[in-house]
Amino acid sequence: MVRHDTATCPDCDSLLWFGTKSEGNGWAVYYECTACGFERRAGRIAMADVDDRDAVWERAEGMGEQF
């Protein structure tokens, strides 16, 4: 898990942490708050949509803007 620089928890306003989990032909992106226990699957990134693992992390970080 990596701490997001700007995404905050909708429940308690603490900074969120995010990570990815390999799933079949892509990655699921998860966000969580260590302060209050908030957890949410933010979305999915298909392997076909990225060239390397760095691109996966960039897209996963971008998904935090919804919080």
Instruction: Count how many domains the chain has.
Output: 1
At residue 56, the pLDDT reads: 97
At residue 67, the pLDDT reads: 84
**Which pLDDT band, with edges at 50, 70 and 90, does 10 fall under?**
very high
**C-beta of residue 30 within 8 angstroms of C-beta of residue 19:** yes
Domain containing 19 equals: 2-66
Q: Taking the model in full, what pTM does it have?
A: 0.88
Q: What are the Cα distances from residue 7, in Å, to 15, 22, 29, 43, 49?
A: 6, 22, 14, 15, 23
* Residue partners of 52: CB distance under 8 A and separation at least 6: none
pLDDT, tens digit (0-9, with 9 covering 90-100), for 19-64: 999 999 999 999 999 999 999 999 999 999 999 999 999 999 999 9
